[in-house]
Copies of this chain bind each other. A is one copy, B any other.
Amino acid sequence: MVMHSGGLEYDGARPTVTIGIDVGGTNIRAAVVDGEGVIVDAASAPTPRSAESLAAAIVGVVHELAGPESVREDGTVDSLAGNYSIGAVGLAVAGFVNRERTIVRYAPHLPWLDAPVARDLSAVLGLPVVLEHDANAAAVAEYRYGAAAGGRNVVVIALGTGIGGAFVQEGNLYRGSFGVAPELGHIQVVPEGRSCACGKRGCWERYCSGTALVDTAIEHLAKSPRQFTTLSREVATDPAGLTGRRVAGAAQAGDALALAVMADFSQWLGVGISLVADVFDPDLIVISGGVAQSAPLFLDAAREHYQRLATGAGYRSMPRIRSTQLGESAGLIGAAELARISLSST
């Protein structure tokens, strides 16, 4: 099921656009993005489980956006014939991408392992394809068009199912020596703490993510079962149906259990922010990702906690902390931006 929405028509010489695609564990979200970071067209599809179907689905959304008249018999895209003059495609992927940004090395929620995704998709589409870690892509977008604009050294902390991190240094992404930096979600913050899918225990994202909101709620109830709130009743009736979004919604409505969960979350965010402030000493930290939608519920408390934890507070300048401006579109806007940058650099 590919949805198609909106569309723009150009007369005469058409400006080159790029397509940004956010390949998430649940959905593939794609958009045509112009040279000002504006989404002019969008499409999406559910993420299939096999590598073949995943490639087909990505090709599908590109064909959808490009328009049927641009698709040649072999499946390549004739960017002169379709809806847009498409210069390149950028993919934002929740996983390790190699430093050359050609291979997805490891993506826990996707069927790619050491997969030369850029080359393969480029061959199928007949278009240049650029890969990037999703948090890096989001950071590029926030830096160009959003909350990270004007920062000298900026760390983006993306709070979603897990935690993604990105470090924009004087306008450039820092990718580390092997394309892994900065991996923030699996820093051990609690020795022998909650077990993590990564095989370790006590990882930061087990305490400070959408998933963590659910676990903290269940843990609170296990410790103090005699809480009778809307949320506690929901957990009792349908524990598997609980989501981080639901916990945030309940907190918004003043649910006591949900507010206690949010207070815990704020503390752990403060711990992580102080770590980021110590390690990178940035002038700006941007909180993004799905959970950032609920920033009013936790960001002020997290700030207070962080200010208590930052080393040498009072003897150093401290980074500003802002919430995302581009929301959940940051990843695909950034992927499109990186595709655009790759065009001008070749």
Contacts and interface: CB of A to CB of B under 8 A. Distances in A.
A198 B106 CA distance: 39
A181 B280 contact: yes
A278 to B, nearest CB: 4
A319 B180 CA distance: 11
A263 interface: no
A177 B278 contact: no
A174 B170 CA distance: 12
A283 interface: yes
A200 interface: yes
Nearest to A281: B176
B312 A106 contact: yes
A315 B96 CA distance: 8
Give the oligomeric copy count.
2
A176 B177 CA distance: 18
Label chain A's interface by main secondary structure.
Answer: loop
Interface string A165-190: 00001000011111111111111111
A309 to B, nearest CB: 6
A274 interface: yes
Contact of A187 (B181, B190, B278, B315): B278
A311 interface: yes
A317 B106 CA distance: 12
Nearest to A203: B311
A241 interface: no
A198 B153 contact: no
A190 B193 CA distance: 10
B315 A281 contact: no
A178 B283 contact: yes
Interface in A260-280: 271, 274-275, 278-280
B271 A188 contact: yes
Contact of A184 (B153, B174, B278, B312): B278
Interface string A110-122: 0001100000000
B106 A184 contact: no
A189 B191 contact: yes
A182 B275 contact: no
Contact of A183 (B169, B190, B278): B278
Contacts of A279: 181-184, 187, 279-280
B281 A316 contact: no
Interface in A181-217: 181-191, 198, 200, 203
A283 B318 CA distance: 29
Interface of A: 96, 105-106, 113-114, 152-153, 169, 174-191, 198, 200, 203, 271, 274-275, 278-283, 308-309, 311-312, 315-319
Given A96-B316, A188-B274, 9 more contacts: A105-B316, A106-B315, A180-B278, A182-B281, A183-B279, A183-B281, A183-B311, A183-B312, A184-B279
Top 7 A-B pairs, shortest CB-CB distance: A176-B281, A181-B281, A106-B315, A177-B283, A186-B311, A180-B281, A183-B278
15 contacts: A106-B316, A113-B315, A169-B174, A177-B317, A180-B312, A180-B316, A181-B279, A182-B279, A183-B279, A183-B312, A187-B275, A189-B189, A200-B308, A200-B309, A200-B311
